[in-house]
Structure 1
Amino acid sequence: MTVSSMTGFARTDGAADGFGWTWELRSVNGKGLDVRVRLNGGFERLEAKVRDAVSKRFKRGNMGVTLNVVRASDGSTYQVNRELLSELVSLAEEFDNTSSLSAGTIADLMNVRGVLETVETQEDDASRDARDGAVLASLSDAIDQMDAHRAEEGAKLDAMLRGHVDNIEATVTHAESCASARGDAIKERLKRQIDELMDAGKFDPERLHQEAALLATKADIREEIDRLKAHIIAARDMLTKGGAIGRKLDFLCQEFNREANTLCSKANDIELTNCGMELKVIIDQLREQVQNVE
């Protein structure tokens, strides 16, 4: 599986039995899967099937699904209410004989409400089901397009994410190589500070030894380095497996940031501090791109 983006677009057209339709799918970032469906032309009955089809293919993203339907004809016929028209004609003739005003023509009378009635053409279940099947098949094509578009965007994301992880690894390696991060450098610095204190006055050697051990523990960044390396391996494993890994990567970014903060707090020189700050910048860039991953 590949990394998939939550951003995408798809459009398909179809036609059958005097109907033409267009599906449009638009997807943007979201914490979960939010499907908003708009169906017109009397196809609202398909909403449940549309939601089910989308949810089977996608796990995250705000997805807008729109169906626009156009009928080649309205499917209606007309019939004349002859009884009403006959009454109106009789009245027209009566007024025509007793008044100087024209009572109007048959065409005028046909415009009277109720004379010309609309009769909806009845559709059998088999025809409707066949058309629904064609409409849903067209939706399936649109979903395939959306999936392909999100995968294409995901491939670009994958390259950027791997680049950020590589930069994190390079910065961690630099931090590890800093002289201040090595155990012998820490011991030498603490020894020098203790010697200065001993020369300045009388101190309890045992207490100084305990304090020195505590300071050495606090200054040691080997655990943070090891955890950062483990996070780097985990990030690359997730990217290789692909799929809906956005939430996991977002959590991993939090763990990356936690170790970077600890590294900064333990830094005892400008070089290591700069490494910690650079890590935080790169991790923030990584997390920004992770928000686009399904």
Structure 2
Amino acid sequence: MPYSMTAFSRQTQDADWGSLALELRSVNQRYLEPHFRLPDALRDLEPVYREALRQRFSRGKIECTLRFEPAEAGAAPEINDARLEALSQALGRVRDKLPDAAMPNALELLAHPGVMATERLNIERVKATARELFDAALSDLENGRGREGERLAALIRERLDGIREQIAIVRQHLPTILERQRAQLLERLETARTELDPQRLEAEMVLLAHKADVAEELDRLETHVTEVERQLGQKGPVGRRLDFLMQELNREANTLSSKAIVADTTRCAVELKVLIEQMREQIQNIE
């Protein structure tokens, strides 16, 4: 099943330390091209994210945006009474031994380690949650690319059926087309009153019939259509192979058009080019 390169995922998490919001946006690109916008406190997650992307995807421009909002501190922070009492006793002993020593004020006491009971932010907990969010977003993005890929494959198969129909039309009318071409040539020769040796005329007719015979082109078109169908059922990235097959299909359609002498073949060749171009546009989004 082919995967599209277009998808979006958003994952969020709220906790006592604050909130995280992670977004992944993916669009078509010839190679894998990740871009990261991470908060400074979580910047060292970029190598982890980059490696995870590389293991999941091979193509696409993927933008990763991570937003972190720390929880606001309470209006009335708690004080560690035991720690403050121990600090007061220690200061009392200092005062007894050094009466002239300057004593700290209240704000300086609050700034002393351990006096405030509020817990400092555990950034490792935030990073662990950010990694979990990224894994969930990757799975969601991959599923989205898969669903879009299924829709693209359905559109391509419709065009493949259209190409088969055009090939069948040309095959059905091929004997009539060749005979009409012969009649047109004879008519032009008669009009021009050109006198040719019968053997030379027959040789010219054989050469024209060979040039106008598009059986080989039709066979190659059918072969390429079968290969496109096979690639759509393969696992893994198939976009580059499909793009190459579009070039080959277009080459055969051009050859068919150049050999066309009658309107029937010309119409089929034009329709083939339209169908191939429609497929090519869809394939640009396939990984």
User: Which TM bucket (shorter chain)?
Assistant: 0.7 to 0.9
Query: 1:10 maps to which residue?
Result: 9
Question: Please, which of 124, 130, 138 is the counterpart of residue 133 of structure 2?
Answer: 138
Query: 1:71 maps to which residue?
Result: 70
Matches within 5 A, 1:183-202: 186=178, 189-190=181-182, 193=185, 197=189, 200=193, 202=195
Compute the RMSD of aligned alpha carbons.
3.2
Q: Matched residue of 1:241: which SS? A: coil
Contiguous gaps of at least 5 residues in structure 1: 78-109, 111-115
What is the CA-CA distance between 1:26 and the residue it aligns to?
A: 0.7
Q: Which amino acid aligns with 2:206?
A: A
Query: 1:278 maps to which residue?
Result: 271
Residue-by-residue CA offset, 1:154-210 (whole Å, 9 max, x unaligned): 1111111111111111111111112xx23x863674378469748945434454444
Q: Matched residue of 2:35: which SS? A: strand
Report if aligned partners of 2:19, 2:71 keep a CA contact under 8 Å in 1: yes
Instruction: Call closer, same or farther: CA 1:195–1:265 in 2, change over 3 Å.
Output: closer
Q: Matched residue of 2:25: which SS? A: strand
Query: 2:248 maps to which residue?
Result: 255
Between the two proteins, what is the percent identity of the paired residues?
37
Query: 2:41 maps to which residue?
Result: 42
Query: 2:223 maps to which residue?
Result: 230
Matches within 5 A, 1:121-200: 127-178=122-173, 181-182=174-175, 186=178, 189-190=181-182, 193=185, 197=189, 200=193
Q: Matched residue of 1:25: which SS? A: strand
Report if aligned partners of 1:30, 1:60 keep a CA contact under 8 Å in 2: yes
Segment of structure 1 superposing worse, 254-263 or 196-205? 196-205
Report if aligned partners of 2:27, 2:60 keep a CA contact under 8 Å in 1: yes
Residue-by-residue CA offset, 1:5-50 (whole Å, 9 max, x unaligned): 1111101112456132111001111111111000014111111111
Residue-by-residue CA offset, 1:60-87 (whole Å, 9 max, x unaligned): 1111100000111479x9xxxxxxxxxx
Contiguous gaps of at least 5 residues in structure 2: 78-106
Determine the C-alpha separation between the residues in 2 that align with 1:67 and 1:196.
74
Report if aligned partners of 1:194, 1:208 keep a CA contact under 8 Å in 2: no
Matches within 5 A, 1:61-140: 61-73=60-72, 127-140=122-135
TM-score normalized by structure 2? Answer: 0.77
Determine the C-alpha separation between the residues in 2 that align with 1:132 and 1:123.
15
Determine the C-alpha separation between the residues in 2 that align with 1:45 and 1:251.
39
Instruction: Call closer, same or farther: CA 1:123–1:50 in 2, change over 3 Å.
Output: farther
Determine the C-alpha separation between the residues in 2 that align with 1:50 and 1:219.
58
Report if aligned partners of 1:17, 1:131 keep a CA contact under 8 Å in 2: no
Report if aligned partners of 2:177, 2:262 keep a CA contact under 8 Å in 1: no
What is the CA-CA distance between 1:213 and the residue it aligns to?
A: 2.9
Q: Matched residue of 1:244: which SS? A: coil
What is the CA-CA distance between 1:128 and the residue it aligns to?
A: 4.1
TM-score normalized by structure 1? Answer: 0.75
